[in-house]
Structure 1
Amino acid sequence: MYAIELPSDAAATIPVERRGHGRILFEAVGLGERTIRGRIEESGFARARFPLSGRRRRALEAVLINTGGGLTGGDTSQTIIRAAETAQLVVTTQAAEKIYRSDGAVTGIMVDLMAQAGTVLEWMPQATIVFDGARVQRSIQAEVAGDARLLLVEPVILGRTARGERFSHGELVDSWRIRRAGKLIFADGMVLEGDISAILDRRACAGGWAAFATLLLVAPDAESRLDAVREALGLPDDLPDHLDAGVSAWDGMLCVRLLARDGAPLETAIRRAITALGIAEVPRIWHC
């Protein structure tokens, strides 16, 4: 989950026919005491693997792989995931997703999740690293049944912090829309463009820090976990150095906002929050 030093550019302008387009659709189905794979479709650079070492409880763990090694301007990534018939599914990624500098075109990332009645769906990818000059538009939408549980964990690191890079120009647009039983219950959006360095330096925005994450739990008992998560993060008065956080709960949801100097304190805080929830574990591939 760290912003490591990698080359940020490919060539100057990439021909349209060489843009990458990945799409994956898969379904997990509950079968007695197990969760098994259902329908799977893969195209472009998008792949999913289901390591036996990732199994815990009765959950099935899916690891998403980008065989192209990252995304750049004009590339698109679409992920469609369905948890059906009492399935318990954990979805993560093989590595941090890197969004490279764009030649002008926008990178599109679309995530579509569905947790049907009686299911558990945990969406916990490793960090998205946005390189300076990247232009990315991401949308996350989810449909959750009234008695289902959905956990979303999305970390973002702005720039390759290991080499002192900042995300000073480019574009980052992020949109979340979560529906429960067909009703919109959570809508969130962010737009970073223009003089991004000046925006991020504002104390009311990021105070110059480069890493942030949102953790959202949608579940009938989500509000009961508020105090445990706050205590695990050190709220209100014992936050660790290089970390700021806020936690709130309402209407069957719990939301954690994290802001950190870089990826290291951010990952530590995410691990603490997940553990404090008492319903999920950090995906094993995060330890690699």
Structure 2
Amino acid sequence: MTLCAPAMPVSPSGHRFDAGRHWAASLELVFARRDGATRMVQARHQGPLRVQRPFYPEGSNEACHVYVLHPPGGLVSGDALTISAHVERGAHALLTTPAANKLYKADSQGVAWTQHTRLSVDDGASLEWLPQETIAFDGSKGEQRTTIDLHGSARCLGWELMALGRPASDLPYVSGRIEQRFRLTLDGKPLWLERQPLDPLHPRFKGRWGQGGATVQATLWVVGIADAPAAVEALREALPDNPRWAVTVRHGVLLLRYLGNSRNEAWALCEQAWHVLRPLWIERDAHTPRIWLT
């Protein structure tokens, strides 16, 4: 007698709900200099990832502001998001999001999600990657990867903020596992490589030599700033004097880190740092995206 394997749970739409579930979505953006201005010349998407029309709040010949939209508002088990942005020579793009990204608890199968951000900047181009924070719910499992490929005199400024759990609702992050990977290269040469597992069951999560029990962390990076030591001093003079943040320069990459327990404090620190750094970076004052104020 031949025993047949049980049928996989599949919905009428073809979606699977077992350990093999996989819901992909992607967004590919390309920015180019056309007629003296930066234009979004390509916006291909698959699944629930979109962009609004470009905005030019700094002037028609200045940075092209674009809001990346993910209507579901967060990632669940099996989601696989890929966001790609390429900025061609002479162009300047600023990308942000309208709200926090949420990483929901894994399903009963423990299926992970993945999110990959790929940023590519040509010689003589500039890119700002300024998403709002990511909130990880208890039990969330997945991998975040950020890959940044720079060429020649490309300039890039960006940040990533992660809040673990929902302390206000008395729902800390006590289970699950999130792995963060950063890779930044210049002409193929690695400048910043980092891998960080966020596992509440690992000793480093609460150890003073690791996470130290902190629930919020942030990293801001800048490449292409003319006088990095002066920028570091400007940050130290302008930002609040507290032990929850530090700044350094390694291999031409300025890195500002925050480790604490307040999303608002981390966000304010990064935004203030951006206001300090942007004039030193591209000789332009920071222009706060309107979506942050709504």
Q: TM-score when scaled to structure 1?
A: 0.87
Q: AA paired with 2:251?
A: D
Q: Which residue of 1 aligns with 2:219?
A: 214
Q: AA paired with 1:131?
A: F
Q: AA paired with 2:41?
A: G
CA distance in 2, matches of 1:52, 1:144: 24
1:171 paired residue among 177, 184, 187: 177
| Alignment of 1:251 onto 2:251 | yes
Shift of 1:18: 7.1
Aligned length: 269
Question: Which has the larger displacement, 23-32 or 45-54?
Answer: 45-54
Q: Which residue of 1 aligns with 2:11?
A: none
CA distance in 2, matches of 1:191, 1:26: 29
| Alignment of 1:24 onto 2:27 | yes
| Alignment of 1:202 onto 2:207 | yes
Q: Which residue of 1 aligns with 2:8?
A: none
CA distance in 2, matches of 1:178, 1:52: 27
Q: Which residue of 2 aligns with 1:70?
A: 74
> What SS does structure 2 have at the residue aligned with 1:276?
helix
Q: Which residue of 2 aligns with 1:92?
A: 96
- Coordinate RMSD, CA, aligned: 2.1
Shift of 1:283: 2.9
CA distance in 1, matches of 2:105, 2:30: 33
CA 1:123–1:74 in structure 2 vs 1: closer, same or farther (change >3 Å)?
same
CA 1:199–1:253 in structure 2 vs 1: closer, same or farther (change >3 Å)?
closer
Shift of 1:203: 2.7
Q: Is the 8 A contact 2:199 2:205 kept in 1?
A: no
Q: Which residue of 1 aligns with 2:132?
A: 126
CA distance in 2, matches of 1:213, 1:147: 26
Relative contact order: is structure 1 or structure 2 higher (C-alpha 8 Å, sep ≥ 6)? 1
CA distance in 2, matches of 1:260, 1:177: 24
Question: Which has the larger displacement, 127-136 or 16-25?
Answer: 16-25
Gaps of at least 5 residues in structure 2 are 1-15, 280-285
| Alignment of 1:116 onto 2:133 | no
1:36 paired residue among 35, 39, 55: 39
Question: Which has the larger displacement, 161-170 or 14-23?
Answer: 14-23
Q: Which residue of 2 aligns with 1:270?
A: 270
CA 1:154–1:282 in structure 2 vs 1: closer, same or farther (change >3 Å)?
farther
Q: Which residue of 1 aligns with 2:282?
A: none
1:146 paired residue among 146, 152, 177: 152
Shift of 1:164: 2.2
Q: Is the 8 A contact 1:142 1:177 kept in 2?
A: yes
Q: Is the 8 A contact 1:221 1:252 kept in 2?
A: no
Q: AA paired with 1:118?
A: G
CA distance in 1, matches of 2:287, 2:248: 21
**Percent identity over the alignment?**
26
CA distance in 2, matches of 1:163, 1:23: 32
Deviation string, structure 1 residues 135-157 (Cα, Å, up to 9, x no partner): 01011111112211001211110
Gaps of at least 5 residues in structure 1 are 1-13
Larger Rg: 2
Deviation string, structure 1 residues 254-277 (Cα, Å, up to 9, x no partner): 100011212111111111111110
Q: TM-score when scaled to structure 2?
A: 0.85
Q: AA paired with 1:49?
A: Q
Matches within 5 A, 1:36-55: 36-52=39-55, 54-55=57-58
Deviation string, structure 1 residues 97-121 (Cα, Å, up to 9, x no partner): 1000002011100111101011110
Q: AA paired with 1:271?
A: E
CA distance in 1, matches of 2:132, 2:218: 11
